[in-house]
A and B are shown apart, each in its own frame.
Chain A
Amino acid sequence: MKKIMLSLAALAALMLALPGTALAVDYGTQKVVYHINGGDPQQNQAALRNIQNHINAVGADNMDIKVVMHGAGLNLLINAKENENLRGAVDSLKLQNVEFQVCANTVRGRNLDISKDLYDATEKDVIPSGVAHLSYLQAQGYTYVKP
């Protein structure tokens, strides 16, 4: 009888302990793609803030984040050339391994010069199609977020 009581007590202790451990949030590692196709500087700034908050919650070492921009979304990097706040946010996210990728269709359609018109962008940041790339990344297990 004592034995049963003991094991019951142990079980109860275990059950009490379990929810406690679940409270410490561990998100593990995350692969996320942020989709930006709007050009409003305030919204873009807010989107970059979302990303920073996301990193703060999960930890930069546990994250693989890509920002895919197309259409008016490229304004983010165009405006970053003039806008100090945007530029600062882009710089800081890049230091945390966030990749910024731009759609070739848009670059061509808007007749942009990658190195002159876009802040801190090079040929290797260019992806052939925003839609194709967003789909591709999701197939790789990236979670899609539209901020």
Chain B
Amino acid sequence: MKTDRPSEEVLNAFVDGEFCPEERLACLRHIASDDSLSREVCDLSQIKEMVNLAYEKVPHPPRSSSRRARTVRGGWLGPAAAAVVVMLTTAGVVGLGIGTKEPARQFTTADMTQPLYGSERFANRILLHVNTRDEERLTNMLDEVESLMAASRQQGVALQILVVTHGEGLALVREDVSPFPERITALSERYAEGLKFVACLNTIERLRREEHLHVRLLPVAEVVNSGVAEVIRRQSQGWAYIQV
């Protein structure tokens, strides 16, 4: 695998989220298998964030990214990617052993009092990938996490939610800049059996290295070596994946 290392252009496209799902999964696999590659991707996302930060006030030029996406897309890894996807999807479907019916749609609005889609068919392990510090998105996520955890406890359904923060998303669990420190602490304590917040060590070390910042995390947050690797590992274990 070392020989067909993805090009810089491919890695950039990956970081910019320009891949279709097949390509993304194949690329994730590749990155997970290689520590130096993970680090490179981590650095790339950080560069992207810094650039975004620098240009926060500048309006986006129309459609500059879509053109690059098109040039990059043409068949990276082609068949290999397809094979990996087939493997992953087969593993996922077989592993979960799930029925095919949609949940009944009798709910109206509010409805966390309705059953949580039945414990068998519902994915009980959810990974929330946080690489943004957009407060609206984060608030929305915490609202949803809270109502899901409450519903799962009320109904006696075991639900695990893992919130993985890295890059810009690390802000969520940083003691100095977290927009919702009390809420995160309270939620983690209340739902200690199923809800966990983790932070990417690569990001923490990068901040120390480049900005001489000694990050202190909220006490409820745990540390993982690499946020990206954690995301990949859990997905390959059948966790549902949602990017916040």
Contact = CB atoms under 8 A, between A and B. Distances in A.
Interface in B113-130: 114, 116-117, 121-123, 126, 128
A136 B111 contact: no
A96 interface: no
A70 B140 contact: yes
Interface string A107-147: 11100001000000001101011111011101111011110
B44 interface: no
Given A129-B112, A129-B148, A135-B123, A141 B140 contact: no
A131 B148 contact: yes
B165 to A, nearest CB: 16
A130 B144 contact: yes
B243 A146 contact: yes
Contacts of A109: 143
Interface residues of A, number: 38
Interface in A24-51: 32, 35, 37-38, 42, 46
B74 interface: no
Contact of B137 (A72, A126, A138): A72
Contacts of B107: 104, 126, 128
B87 interface: no
A137 to B, nearest CB: 8
B110 interface: yes
A71 B147 contact: no
Interface in A87-118: 103-109, 114
Contacts of A108: 109-110
Interface in B218-243: 240-243
Given A71-B140, A143-B21, A131 B89 contact: no
B77 interface: no
A109 B112 CA distance: 14
Nearest to B17: A146
A6 interface: no
A22 B243 contact: no
A46 B98 CA distance: 33
Contacts of A145: 20-21
Nearest to B117: A136
Given A105-B143, A128-B112, A139 B121 contact: yes
B156 interface: no
B141 interface: yes
B153 to A, nearest CB: 14
A72 B21 contact: no
A45 to B, nearest CB: 11
A138 B144 contact: no
Interface in B70-112: 79, 89, 92-93, 96, 98, 100, 102-103, 105, 107-112
Contacts of A22: 79
B136 interface: yes
B15 interface: no
Contacts of B17: 146
Given A38-B137, A131-B242, A132-B122, 10 more contacts: A22-B79, A128-B111, A135-B123, A139-B240, A140-B98, A140-B102, A140-B121, A141-B98, A144-B21, A146-B17
- What are the 7 closest A-B residue pairs judged by CB atoms, nearest first? A71-B140, A135-B240, A139-B123, A135-B123, A138-B240, A131-B144, A128-B111
